[in-house]
Amino acid sequence: MNAIRTRFAPSPTGYLHVGGLRTALYAYLLAKKHGGQFLLRIEDTDQTRLVEGATENIIEALRWAGIDFDEGPGKGGPCGPYIQSHRLEIYMKHALELIAAGHAYHCFCSSERLDELRARQTANKLPPAYDKHCRNLSPAELEEKLATERKSVIRMKVPLEGEMTFSDLIRGPVTFGYKVVDDQVLIKSDGFPTYHLAVVIDDHYMKISHVIRGEEWLSSTPKHILLYEYFGWDAPQFAHLPLLLNSDRSKLSKRQGDVAVEDYRQKGYLPEALVNFIAFLGWNPGDTREFFTLEELIKEFSLACVGKAGAIFNLEKLDWLNGQYIQRMPTRELVSRIKPLIAARELPFKNDEYLEQVVELLKERVTVLPDFLTNGAYFFDAPTHYDTAIVAKAWQPDTAQYIKEMLNVFESIQSFDAVSLEHAMREYTKNKNITMGRLIQPLRLALSGVGQGPSLYHMMALFGKEETRNRCLEACRVMTL
């Protein structure tokens, strides 16, 4: 196989979409599997939609996900610049070459005329398309308009008859009749190229071997292949990925949930879990394995295993997968990831050893990283209120007396560890002829303010004798008010 060079070419119009992350991931995996290069190119030719800071966010999101590009903004490379607005002279030069060769033409139609044309076509239930009004201007008419008209665009000439068939690496042979392919604008009136011209020129000069993109670009591929033919260049291979869908099979959109990578990052999903999840949105290894590191994905990935059907973005599956990754992650690594969250909330804690024990107690009970702080808030601050439903259910008139007596028993324990604490409670309740349940839930309530959580005995051991006593006495005081 010849050198594989793939690219991810987003527009800097906001945060990176999860669909964009999938496109970048698949392009990255294909290149790395075959020892090739993966490029990042910023397509900012639509100046009206630019969002300040979006390019930096895209680069940071890729870095966070572990997808490292070989060439691109900030890294450079032999085929730069990698930002399209820095390449305008290249596009104009090639557009004029197309005109000279008879493959493109100046169009002087006003926006008002085009709006009227679209309105008539819509009223007649016809697909919107340019009517080629300026395609066959005489040399004299063209010269006059170039001299007198202030604005024009450059359009490509699509054959009037016939069809094109090309091979898609995911969908196989795809055929389009030229009658449904519009005379696409290549250079806008502001001098900037459209996506269609810029992508072909850039992919050629950046030596891209495989173009991987969403299926929404499938209908544009005939225009791009025509441009390759007009320029006399070899076209890359194309692979159009299936749509990402909501659970109701509608196209994934922000109206029904989060769609930006940044949303999931802020919510505390692990990049390893999100990448693993994204990889399966269209691709499948062909067996029952569900957990893949990035290195394993590189080894296993193949476009032949990418399906045509839309892929459901199942948030419940992502939650499950993220929880599994948290459970499997080494405790010290988890501590390093939650410490920035702790610092941001200015939560007190003793030391890293204490955090490691907190993580060990909670890691099977959390879905995302902030759950360590919300579900386990009592590990950082003593409770200031108590679950009223649990109070009504578990706190009885004699509960405070039992707890205070139990605390006196705890004072005599030499080793304040989980095993010793459980043994002491069993002996006490046996002597008092009461069930363990009479103490377990009230003690949990006193320590945490809630009725559920990890092992009570391990919680007390972690808090230590003094903190356990203080929290229990405070709960007894509050309950008697």
Q: Which residues are catalytic?
A: 254
Show Cβ contacts of residue 315 under 8 Å, excluding neighbours closer than 6 positions.
Answer: 257
Cα gap 481→478, rounded to integer Å: 5
Give the distance, in angstroms, between the CA of residue 20 and the centroid of all CA atoms in the same chain: 7
Show Cβ contacts of residue 139 under 8 Å, excluding neighbours closer than 6 positions.
Answer: none
Cα gap 474→481, rounded to integer Å: 11
Tally of residues, the chain: 481
Neighbouring CB atoms inside 10 A of 205's CB total 14
β-sheet bridge partners, residue 164: 176
Q: What is residue 260's three-state secondary structure?
A: strand
* CA max distance for the chain: 111
The alpha carbon torsion through 75, 80, 84, 85 (nearest 10 deg) reads 90
Cα gap 233→207, rounded to integer Å: 11
Contact 154, 147 (CB under 8 A): no
Contact 30, 210 (CB under 8 A): yes
Cα gap 344→339, rounded to integer Å: 9
- In sign, the C-alpha dihedral spanning 369, 375, 376, 377 is positive
The one-letter amino acid code at 287 reads D
Contact 445, 479 (CB under 8 A): no
Counting beta carbons within 10 angstroms of the beta carbon of residue 127, is it exposed (0 to 12), middle (13 to 18) or buried (19 or more)?
exposed
β-sheet bridge partners, residue 174: 166
Place of tokens 């009504």: 392
Contact 426, 436 (CB under 8 A): yes
Cα gap 260→15, rounded to integer Å: 6
Ramachandran region, residue 113 (left: φ > 0; alpha: ψ -120 to 50; beta: rest): alpha
β-sheet bridge partners, residue 213: 240
Show Cβ contacts of residue 339 under 8 Å, excluding neighbours closer than 6 positions.
Answer: 355
Cα gap 80→61, rounded to integer Å: 22
Q: Rounded to 5, what percent of the chain is helix, strand, coil?
A: 50, 10, 35
Cα gap 453→174, rounded to integer Å: 56
